[in-house]
Structure 1
């Protein structure tokens, strides 16, 4: 044994012991930190809860309700609003809305700059005529003495009111709706924050919430979002009284309903239709072949560049052309509706229809080309370079601004086939589950935006087919193009809102691109059928039945 190394051993052991002690101390310190952090977090949550309760103390003593008051000297009853501030300090900027449970057109709003404390409620008579005066409820918003804004909803529940309502949807529709959001929210001291974006981006935000990206309170979009959003519990069911529901076209309510629950408030219809330049083609074509022939004759004399135009790729517009040629995407139930449990894209009729669509592309007439997207297709039509455009109603404003003499017509079928029943889109408003200002957001979409005056004004700003029956009749009478659009799809089918519908559209889009590029229709149909079956073959349909495989007969 080399005793000369003993000092080195002792030094090494001491170093190891010091390291071990440091490690133990670090672990202990970390555990203490975790305990202290947990205690601090619990204390912070307790303080926040206490502060919230203290904030509610005054607000809880402010109330308003609908009722009647009678004077001894008058036999008649006065219906109106009772208002009471039972706290010990005033509240400010109080705004009151009298709302009908059945008809959003009936109601009244009034304000009080200061609502002082009072032992007894103040009564304000309201002159509203209705079959039953008890059908009204009162909603109140006010600011307490600490500056916090509150809302007591029409069920009497109290909520803190945030400063903004965040609305998210497609840019053009958001811009058209901006005024109607802002007008209503301003009456409650709330601002509208509007954001536009693509559905995929929106879906990611709702699925994976991030504090840096606020979750919207309201979604504006087409009804075929509803299935996936409802299944993932991203949106909330909504309630309308039977009389309120009856104010809408039943097709719109059905489209916004998923598995028996209403998940959206509808405001507009849309569907593919054919726009015809009457100056280029005075008479409507009787068939799809005749339409193409008319366009080719104009090409022959140099009066047009393309016989017929539509956005590529767009499965929404592919669908009516598929039907026009005798094809199908889904089967049909006994009641005539679409059977989403059965795909029929690989039947002989559908394969023949896909081949006819292929002939419109690069392998045939060249009407459809990959470089003709929405902007290019619309530009071809409004500049008079094509006589026909397959499009939705959003193009009406651009065509009217261009001064075109146009007609709106159904997509004509190929000879020997039935009239086309296009897929109908219903645009509406959905309420998210994780929105931060849901109470006022719900009032905005259920009560304010469903009023006839709002629906009619909106259709003047953004040409569309309203879903409120009274606004629809008014628009049909005042605007021939709107009336014609409605006639083209009144016997159509709502787009299925099954959760896989987005994937169905994407599969059709890929198939459409291949066909326009000239791919053989048979292999495309078989591959499309396989993709669609894989999407849904393990899921029961809306009636709980196991989904069928695609038909080959």
Structure 2
């Protein structure tokens, strides 16, 4: 979730638009725990490197209990793209682990199946996590972790949490003047911008991406980018940019934002739980609080994302995959192991309660995301990332907000089908 681009999801939509819904369903009979060859077979799970290591012992036990072979395979790069490509070729996994905002594109292209959780199982999860993996009224994933960004500050440089972004800028400017820091704020942008990390400021200034329908779902027909609210929001973001306060800079990127913070060159970092290990390694005295909004503006709302397990629609052992994600992934033991592999707040309430006593950061990140917005998983979101990010970078660099955001809105509208 550190940075997102349109490339992955846009390619998916184009590549899969004409795809068929076939696949080998010969193993769709109900799974049993018998050890006969008919009940055997192989369950293949794809995940990234960190989750692969955590999953392996649990997968092996599941295999023993069900009389099957379970392979957990690490896909280090472009997991979503590789999953869809392999699925189309009939060589994909049975289960894949990934972000909830994949769902719209994967469902649209027939790559994943709904999952069946009993009411009691659903109620054992964080409500926002269940909402995030629900698409068109159906549950498409079993969530295991939530994530959102917050303001991480070096308490040796900034003892108090800023109430507004203006307070933060004032503190950052003083630290620069006193030669205690070289940057006001580490909020990654780069030359192509980063819609994910700037979103809290965008919402505080009144901007929105999509409106909502009567049932609360995101409405792709109501695009906020290019509307007057978004222009006003980008004007405020522009004032924080290189021709204004200098708090937002294109030189702060996804590659250097955390390192700049841990190198004590800035007191404030906008990032997520993934940054904490580096802060601890650098022996930074830190605290976590919500990203502050503009004075007199709305509350800053970060995106809330969810990591989840999905059942591949074209997997070769779908019934066993359903059994794994619905009755095994839902156990606190596995959720805690995944948390230990990469500390993000567990979506399973029992697991969250189990680990929060040993990790005070969890509650602080959760509080920072309490009023956040579920990251849209609708296919139209694929059209947002690149034009929005480039508009952000241009405005940070001094481009005219009205012209820039209006043009971005037109580009996005043209891509939404």
1:140 corresponding residue in structure 2: 33
Task: List per-residue Cα deviations over 1:84-131 (Å, max 9, x = no partner).
Answer: xxxxxxxxxxxxxxxxxxxxxxxxxxxxxxxxxxxxxxxxxxxxxxxx
Please say if residues 87 and 315 of structure 2, whose CA atoms lie closer than 8 Å, have aligned partners that are also in contact. no
Match of 2:272 in 1: 392
Deviation at 1:291, TM superposition (A): 0.3
- For 2:392 and 2:79, how far apart are their aligned partners in 1? 21
Distance between the aligned counterparts of 1:513 and 1:307, measured in 2?
Answer: 17
Note closer, same or farther for the CA distance 1:469–1:520 as it changes in structure 2 (3 Å cut): same
**Paired residue for 1:507?**
387
Output aligned runs, 1:193-208, within 5 Å: 193-198=73-78, 201-202=81-82, 205-206=85-86, 208=88
State how far apart, in whole Å, the 1-side matches of 2:249 and 2:290 are: 23
Q: Which structure has the greater CA radius of gyration? A: 1
Q: Measured at CA, do residues 249 and 331 of structure 1 come closer, stay the same or move farther in structure 2, by a change above 3 Å?
A: same
Q: Unpaired segments of 5 or more residues in structure 2?
A: 1-25
Match of 2:336 in 1: 456
Compared CA separation, residues 141 and 384, structure 1 to 2 (3 A):
farther
Give the 3-state SS of the residue equivalent to 2:255 in structure 1.
helix
Alpha-carbon shift at residue 367 of structure 1 (Å)? 3.4
Q: Tell me: CA distance 1:526–1:334, structure 2 relative to 1, closer, same or farther (3 Å).
A: same
For residues 499-543 of structure 1, what are the alpha-carbon distances to aligned partners after superposition, in whole Å with 9 as ceiling and x for unaligned? 12122222212222322332211111111221232333x5xxxxx
Q: For 2:74 and 2:64, locate their aligned partners in 1 and report how far apart those are by CA, in whole Å.
A: 14
Task: Give the stretch that moved more between structures: 485-494 or 442-451.
Answer: 442-451
**Contact 2:185/2:269 (<8 A) preserved:** yes
| 2:127 maps to 1:250 | yes
Give me the CA root mean square deviation: 2.7
Which residue in 2 is equivalent to 1:415?
295
Is 2:168 the counterpart of 1:288? no
Mapped to 1, the partners of 2:62 and 2:262 lie a distance apart of: 36
- Report if aligned partners of 2:95, 2:310 keep a CA contact under 8 Å in 1: yes
Report the alpha carbon displacement of residue 392 of structure 1 after superposing the two structures with TM. 1.6
Aligned pairs for 1:343-354 within 5 A:
343-354=223-234
Q: Secondary structure at the match of 2:389?
A: helix
**Whole-Å separation in 2 of the counterparts to 1:431 and 1:336:** 26
Question: Does the 8 Å contact 1:274/1:391 carry over to 2?
Answer: yes
Deviation at 1:290, TM superposition (A): 0.6
User: Which deviates more from structure 2 when the two are superposed, residues 491-500 or residues 406-415?
Assistant: 491-500
1:264 aligns with 2:144: no
Q: CA deviation at 1:400?
A: 2.2
State which of 73, 88, 98 in structure 2 corresponds to 1:221: 98
Aligned equivalent of 2:15: none
- Of 197, 202, 205 in structure 2, the residue corresponding to residue 325 of structure 1 is 205
Is 1:368 paired with 2:248? yes
Once residues 206 and 358 of structure 1 are traced to their aligned partners in structure 2, the CA distance between those partners, rounded to angstroms, is 42
Task: List per-residue Cα deviations over 1:121-155 (Å, max 9, x = no partner).
Answer: xxxxxxxxxxxxxxxx9931425xxxxx442xxxx
Give CA-to-partner distance per residue, 1:207-227, whole Å, 9 cap, x none: 742x6xx31222211111101
Which of 1 and 2 has higher RCO (CA within 8 Å, sep 6+)? Answer: 2
Match of 1:530 in 2: 410
Q: Which runs of 5+ in 1 are unaligned?
A: 1-51, 61-136, 144-148, 152-159, 539-553
State how far apart, in whole Å, the 1-side matches of 2:216 and 2:167 are.
29
Cα displacement (A) at 1:364? 2.8
Cα displacement (A) at 1:452: 1.0
With over 3 angstroms needed to count, the CA separation of the structure-2 counterparts of 1:259 and 1:282, relative to structure 1, is same
Aligned runs of 1:441-520 on 2, under 5 Å? 441-520=321-400
- 3-state SS in 1 of match to 2:35: strand
Contact 2:101 2:378 (8 Å CA) reproduced: yes
Aligned equivalent of 1:303? 180
1:354-407, CA deviations, whole angstroms, 9 ceiling, x for partnerless residues? 122223333333333334222200001112111111112211222223222211
| Gap change, CA 1:183 and 1:314, over 3 Å in 2 | farther
State the alpha-carbon separation in 1 of the partners of residues 56 and 393 from structure 2: 36
Q: Give the alignment of 1:58-69 within 5 angstroms.
A: none
CA distance in 1: counterparts of 2:54 and 2:409, whole angstroms: 39
In the alignment, which residue of structure 1 is the partner of 2:23? none
| TM-aligned CA deviation for residue 252 of structure 1 | 1.1
More strand by share: 1
Tell me, yes or no, if the aligned pair for 2:384 and 2:412 is still in contact at 8 Å.
yes
